[in-house]
């Protein structure tokens, strides 16, 4: 394995591959706060061959502890309020919040008022809004790359 | 036409029906919790409702006759406040009781401990909580707590017009939006005394099969992901993407949102669109078959699948399991085989040769159904399609029922109306029916196998929670 990695590194330096345009990366933690599963299905496909967001340094991570960005889908339900806040509090600073999809943004959410807390920005500030019902993988990719390009975003992970 | 009875002998009538060929298809309390209704379905597609008054907010339980009614009764208690005499303990389902003892099954013995997973999971997965009772890696019992995503969609729809109701049903779940929408449309049309014309039947069947194709491709990718086989996962994820692009090309929406309406369809497909669609479907079919062959000969992948997560036929029937999960156990039941309101003439349900109800059988079932759907769609897309309507056939009534085979199984919708307004709407999806089987499948298996077992069902949380 070590030999393989060494060979790979030699190959890379030998080829003189261009450096990526975007420095840095973003680790994203997704939380479904009450979606219809549409945003999840599109988000999953951002890792599929047509989009392959990982090649830009955008990765979905398993724990909020590892994350720069909290990506929230759905109108926040009463039952997801606490788990969502727990995930948010578990993240290291600086942290960013992205609201994915119309429900998370508070556009025409459906349901019984007593079962819903409201849009994501009812709980904490939202840095990135990705509209759509659901947003296409293209739209999700473009929005997250824009977050990576933001001056504030570039500092992520370097503080 | 759904028969409705509500006199004496509620339990006896249900017991007799179930002893015959009738199957339990759902139970709900009416708005305000004054009565409880049980939906029964027969293999020939006919449906009937048995009602009983909930006097002093209590109705007789039928959970001893039909264990599949357990979740329905618990839901009716939490949401409509109906108690069920004989259902003891009546554990909370939609309500989240912080007291573990109230909603988990007590597990005693030498050294058992609990592993709590969720509601937030490690991947991009919907929210839900699993509480495993284990000894070492061996799962003794699994308590599943869902409804974290309960939005109160059914109650929100009460008072809306039948036409407006579609928005609530359609938003319950993106992955089953067509199946749920058609079940609702059928229910409304039965109440309105309408019957779809041949053109409307074809339009809806096309939409249902388009939904099944992307969904089954996604499920095959999910099982590969559950094993950690990136090659299979990415290959079928790419096919899922292409299937969604085809949906967008045909209907303007990748998930076919807003394509189903009550009493009509606006979907129009001209000869050029049809030709392009059939070509793409043929290409998808060939590519999927090639990917499937590759998986079939991948021994280290195939080694992971058999003899885990077993739901045998008897358990599937007892738990009310439906869809691919039931058929993989050899239960040859599919609502499509008796759907006069859709264009499935001559449809015969498939089951795998090795119908053992394990992960491998459920995996193979997806492929079998996929080939079937490609063949169905090719024939359905032969001739141009125009906008269509439903026409008057029967007298109007206060109540209607719709049953549709979603990618995840039989989905039933009951609509009770007052005038053109919804009085009560109940949507019981294939996912809702099959979740108890996931807990059954996990028992006796190893904790590290659970993600794979869960993926082999790939049930929705959204249309269960509503």
Fold of domain A23-154 = Rossmann fold (3.40.50)
CA A5, A10, A14, A16 dihedral sign is positive
Does residue B438 fall inside a structural domain? no
Total domain count, chain B: 3
Write the residue in A31, A115, A133 that is nearest to B152 by C-beta: A115
The arrangement of strands across the sheet holding B399-406 comes to B399-406, B409-418, B421-428
- Is the Cβ of B422 closer than 8 Å to some Cβ of chain A? no
User: What is the pairing mode between strands A58-60 and A26-32?
Assistant: parallel
Preferred mutation among B31, B97, B127, B248 to probe A, highest tally of A CBs within 10 A: B127
Give yes or no for a cis peptide into B89 (omega within 30° of 0).
yes
A20 pLDDT band (50/70/90 cuts)? low
Extended beta strands in B13-128, E state: 23-29, 35-41, 47-53, 58-60, 83-85, 113-117
Question: B393 with B253, same domain?
Answer: yes
Give yes or no for a cis peptide into A114 (omega within 30° of 0).
no
Q: Do B153 and A110 touch (CB under 8 A)?
A: yes
Parse chain A into domains and list their residue ranges: 23-154
Question: B18 with B124, same domain?
Answer: no
Write the residue in B124, B167, B175 that is nearest to A43 by C-beta: B124
Write the residue in A30, A36, A134 that is nearest to B124 by C-beta: A30
Question: B64 with B111, same domain?
Answer: no
Q: A97: alpha, beta or left, given left = phi > 0 and alpha = psi -120 to 50?
A: beta
Q: Do B168 and A38 touch (CB under 8 A)?
A: no
Residues listed for chain A: 159
Q: Do B152 and A114 touch (CB under 8 A)?
A: yes
Question: B8 with B116, same domain?
Answer: no
Write the residue in A50, A87, A137 that is nearest to B120 by C-beta: A87
CB neighbourhood size of B296 (10 A): 12
Question: B391 with B288, same domain?
Answer: yes
Extended beta strands in B236-347, E state: 264-265
Tell me the average pLDDT across A56-76. Answer: 93
Q: What is the pLDDT along chain B (466 residues), one digit of tens a residue?
A: 677 766 578 999 999 999 999 999 999 999 989 999 999 999 999 999 999 999 899 999 999 999 999 999 999 999 999 999 999 999 999 999 888 889 998 888 888 999 999 899 988 999 999 999 999 999 999 999 999 999 999 999 999 999 999 999 999 999 999 999 999 999 999 999 999 999 999 999 999 999 999 999 999 999 999 999 999 999 999 999 999 999 999 999 999 999 999 999 999 999 999 999 999 999 999 999 999 999 999 999 999 999 999 999 999 999 999 999 999 999 999 999 999 999 999 999 999 999 999 999 999 999 999 999 999 999 999 999 999 999 999 899 999 999 999 999 999 999 999 999 999 999 999 999 999 999 999 999 999 999 999 999 999 999 999 9
Instruction: Retrieve residue A107's tokens.
Output: 């556009």
Preferred mutation among B31, B119, B158 to probe A, highest tally of A CBs within 10 A: B119
Write the residue in A41, A63, A79 that is nearest to B174 by C-beta: A41
Instruction: Retrieve residue B400's tokens.
Output: 């209607």
Question: B266 with B138, same domain?
Answer: no
What's the rounded Cα separation, in Å, for the pair B192 and B1? 12
Distance from CA of A114 to the nearest CA of B (A): 8
Q: Which residues of B touch A83 (CB under 8 A)?
A: 119-120, 127, 148
Residue of A nearest to B164 (CA): A110
Residue of B nearest to A78 (CA): B148
Question: B205 with B57, same domain?
Answer: no
- Is the Cβ of B171 closer than 8 Å to some Cβ of chain A? yes
Residue of B nearest to A138 (CA): B241
Question: B74 with B122, same domain?
Answer: no
Question: B207 with B183, same domain?
Answer: yes
- Is the Cβ of B243 closer than 8 Å to some Cβ of chain A? no
What's the rounded Cα separation, in Å, for the pair B183 and B414? 9
Q: Which residues of A touch B167 (CB under 8 A)?
A: 110
Question: B128 with B24, same domain?
Answer: no
CB neighbourhood size of B447 (10 A): 16
Preferred mutation among A27, A111, A139 to probe B, highest tally of B CBs within 10 A: A111
Does residue B462 fall inside a structural domain? no
- Is the Cβ of B126 closer than 8 Å to some Cβ of chain A? yes
Q: Using an 8 Å Cβ cutoff, are A69 and A29 in contact?
A: yes
User: Can you give the residue range of the structural domain that contains B398?
Assistant: 174-426
Question: B26 with B72, same domain?
Answer: yes
Does residue B270 fall inside a structural domain? yes
- Indicate which CATH number applies to the domain containing B375: 1.10.645.10
Residue of A nearest to B241 (CA): A45
């Amino acid at each position: 394995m070590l030999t393989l990695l060494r060979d790979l590194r030699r190959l890379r330096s030998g080829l003189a591959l261009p450096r990526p345009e975007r420095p840095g990366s973003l680790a994203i933690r997704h939380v479904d706060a009450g979606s219809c599963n549409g945003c999840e299905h599109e988000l999953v496909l951002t890792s599929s061959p047509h989009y392959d967001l990982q090649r830009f340094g955008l990765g979905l991570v398993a724990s909020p502890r590892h994350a720069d960005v909290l990506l929230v889908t759905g109108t926040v339900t009463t039952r997801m309020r606490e788990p969502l806040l727990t995930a948010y509090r578990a993240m290291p600073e600086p942290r960013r919040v992205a609201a994915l999809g119309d429900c998370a943004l508070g556009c025409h959410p459906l349901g019984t008022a007593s079962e819903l807390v409201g849009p994501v920005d009812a709980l904490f500030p939202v840095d990135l809004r990705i509209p759509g019902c659901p947003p296409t993988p293209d739209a999700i990719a473009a929005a997250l790359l824009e977050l990576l390009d933001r001056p504030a975003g570039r500092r992520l992970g370097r503080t | 036409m759904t028969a409705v009875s509500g006199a004496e002998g509620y339990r006896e009538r249900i017991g007799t029906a179930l002893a015959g060929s009738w199957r339990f298809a759902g139970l709900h309390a009416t708005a305000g919790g004054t009565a409880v209704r049980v939906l029964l379905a027969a293999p020939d597609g006919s449906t009937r409702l048995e009602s009983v008054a909930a006097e002093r907010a209590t109705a007789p339980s039928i959970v001893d006759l039909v264990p599949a009614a357990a979740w329905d009764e618990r839901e009716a208690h939490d949401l409509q406040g109906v108690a069920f005499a004989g259902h003891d303990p009546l554990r909370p389902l939609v309500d989240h009781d912080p007291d573990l003892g109230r909603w988990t099954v007590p597990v005693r013995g030498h050294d058992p401990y609990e592993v709590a997973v969720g509601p937030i999971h490690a991947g991009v997965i919907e929210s839900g909580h699993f509480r495993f009772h284990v000894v070492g890696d061996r799962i003794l019992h699994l308590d599943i707590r869902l409804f974290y995503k309960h939005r109160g969609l059914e109650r929100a729809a009460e008072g809306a017009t039948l036409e407006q109701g579609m928005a609530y049903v359609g938003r319950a779940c993106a992955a089953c939006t067509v199946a749920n929408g058609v079940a609702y449309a059928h229910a409304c049309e039965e109440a309105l005394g309408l019957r779809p014309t041949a053109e409307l039947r074809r339009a809806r069947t096309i939409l249902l099969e388009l939904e099944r194709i992307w969904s089954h491709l996604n499920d095959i990718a999910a099982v590969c992901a559950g094993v950690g086989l990136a090659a299979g996962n990415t290959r079928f994820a790419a096919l899922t993407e292409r299937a969604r692009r085809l949906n967008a090309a045909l209907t303007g929406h990748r998930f076919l949102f807003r394509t189903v309406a009550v009493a009509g369809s606006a979907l129009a497909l001209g000869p050029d669109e049809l030709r392009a669609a059939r070509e793409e479907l043929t290409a998808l079919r060939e590519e999927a078959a090639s990917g499937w062959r590759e998986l079939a000969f991948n021994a280290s992948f195939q080694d992971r699948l058999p003899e885990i997560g077993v739901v045998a036929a008897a358990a599937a029937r007892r738990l009310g399991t439906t869809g691919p999960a039931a058929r993989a156990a050899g239960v040859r039941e599919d609502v499509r085989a008796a759907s006069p309101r859709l264009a499935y003439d001559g449809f015969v349900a498939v089951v795998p040769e090795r119908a053992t109800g394990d992960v491998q059988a459920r995996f193979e079932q997806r492929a079998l159904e996929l080939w079937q759907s490609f063949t169905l769609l090719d024939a359905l897309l032969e001739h141009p399609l125009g906008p269509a309507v439903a026409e008057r056939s029967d007298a109007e009534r206060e109540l209607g029922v719709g049953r549709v085979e979603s990618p995840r199984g039989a989905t039933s919708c009951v609509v009770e109306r007052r005038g053109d307004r919804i009085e009560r709407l109940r949507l019981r999806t294939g996912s809702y029916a099959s979740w108890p089987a996931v807990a059954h499948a996990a028992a006796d298996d190893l904790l590290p196998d659970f993600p794979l077992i869960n993926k082999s069902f790939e049930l929705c949380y959204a249309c269960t929670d509503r």
